[in-house]
């Protein structure tokens, strides 16, 4: 089976109703569409609210932009000193190698700049300039390969980039952000794993997964190939309405990741990308979900709930707080701290009489 890249192909496969064809063609004229065979296998086509379909099958509501939405919701452009580089934090940069993905998520914050119609990848000259930028700045400790999806590149190109980064003394960490182990797990070959592993330095792979069903047997095997080669894996997920915005689903996702030796890292609040309002939750809903995980799941299963501040101001944690300042006792600050059962306790506790 080949990837499905047009609304007509989605209708023929039973993944979209014929009555929506014209509307979906209008969506596809603006935003890229692609579903790999592995993603198609995950979709329960008899379920109109299937959480996998909601992530990948286009929806007419994507043409309903809201006033607060923006083409560059997290401000990449404001921090791009040279093509391919985003330098938002002092000690790390994004290196955007590709502008295509094997699949196109309907909530993607880079949906205005990825897919057919955009440059496929960095040119050789642009890559040289990006690497020169990194070499010239000794404060850059970590390079994050992103895009698009960097694991769409051939093993040869990946190896060239990773070796070039490994030769930069002050670069100690390369982090690869990818959806490939879930959406095209057969691409995670031994050759790809060798290509991304740096000798004498650390490589991390961060998997984007939003629903426990995404961790299919093939996906788990692909992740195991990476981890068994000595490359640690983390995860990032996006909080999405109708996909993972209930405690049971979110808990199952985090546990499934940990069971497969993948540490949950970030749970992102949905970005203000155009036409994604129908998939965003509210921040209070997200905070309530994180509260539901606290104490119920192992600490290994707890991601950090973050908001990428619009305008390029970076990520900030926005999870619930369990600490409130109480009345001071003399010169000593006092607090009320809430446990996982919702019971508040004074801190420091009342002094005990040891007489």
Catalytically active residues are 88-89, 92, 101, 105, 108, 110, 271, 308, 315
Q: What Rg, from alpha-carbon coordinates, does the chain have?
A: 22
Interhelix angle for 124-135 vs 155-166, to 10°?
Answer: 20
Burial class of residue 216 (count of CB atoms within 10 Å of its CB; 0-12, 13-18, 19+): middle
Separation between Cα atoms, residue 306 and residue 239, nearest integer Å: 10
- CA torsion through residues 274, 252, 50, 146, sign: positive
For the chain, the distance separating the N- and C-terminal CA atoms, rounded to the nearest angstrom, is: 79
Distant-in-sequence, close-in-space partners of 221: CB < 8 Å, separation ≥ 6: 185
User: Looking at the DSSP assignment, which residues form a beta bridge with residue 235?
Assistant: 207, 264
Under DSSP, the state recorded for 185 is G
Per the CB < 8 A criterion, the answer to whether 98 and 152 are in contact is yes
3-class secondary-structure state, position 328: coil
CA distances from 31 to 100, 157, 323 (A): 12, 27, 43
Neighbours of 348 (CB within 10 A): 10
- CA torsion through residues 192, 36, 100, 91, sign: negative
- Greatest alpha-carbon pair distance for the chain in Å reads 82
């Amino acid at each position: 089976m080949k990837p499905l890249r047009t609304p007509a192909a989605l209708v023929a496969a039973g993944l979209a109703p014929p009555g929506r064809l014209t509307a979906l063609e209008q969506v596809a004229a603006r935003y890229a569409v692609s579903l790999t065979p592995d993603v198609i296998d995950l979709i329960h086509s008899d379920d109109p609210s299937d959480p996998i379909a909601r992530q990948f099958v286009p929806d007419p509501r994507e043409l309903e932009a809201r006033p607060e939405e923006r083409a560059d919701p997290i401000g990449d452009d404001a921090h791009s000193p040279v093509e391919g580089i985003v330098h938002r934090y002092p000690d790390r940069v994004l290196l955007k190698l590709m502008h295509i993905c094997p699949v196109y998520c309907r909530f993607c914050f880079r949906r205005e700049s990825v897919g057919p119609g955009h440059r496929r990848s960095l040119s050789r000259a642009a890559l040289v300039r990006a690497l020169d930028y990194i070499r010239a700045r000794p404060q850059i400790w970590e390079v994050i390969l992103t895009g698009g999806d960097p694991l769409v590149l051939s093993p040869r190109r990946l190896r060239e980039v990773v070796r070039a980064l490994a030769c930069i003394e002050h670069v100690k960490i390369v982090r690869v952000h990818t959806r490939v182990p879930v959406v095209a797990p057969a691409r995670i070959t031994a050759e790809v794993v060798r290509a991304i592993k740096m000798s004498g330095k650390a490589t991390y792979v961060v998997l984007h997964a939003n629903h426990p069903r995404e961790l299919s047997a093939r996906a788990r095997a692909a992740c195991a190939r990476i981890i068994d080669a000595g490359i640690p894996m983390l995860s990032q997920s996006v909080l999405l309405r109708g996909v993972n915005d209930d405690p049971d689903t979110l808990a199952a996702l985090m546990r499934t990741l940990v069971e497969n030796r993948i540490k949950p890292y970030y749970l992102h609040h949905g970005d203000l990308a155009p036409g994604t309002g129908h998939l965003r939750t509210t921040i209070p809903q997200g905070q309530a979900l994180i509260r539901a995980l606290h104490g119920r799941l192992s600490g290994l299963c707890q991601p950090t709930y973050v908001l990428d501040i619009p305008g390029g101001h970076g990520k900030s944690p926005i999870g619930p707080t369990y600490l409130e300042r109480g009345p001071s006792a003399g010169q000593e600050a006092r607090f009320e701290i809430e446990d996982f059962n919702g019971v508040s306790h004074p801190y420091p506790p009342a002094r005990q009489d040891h007489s």
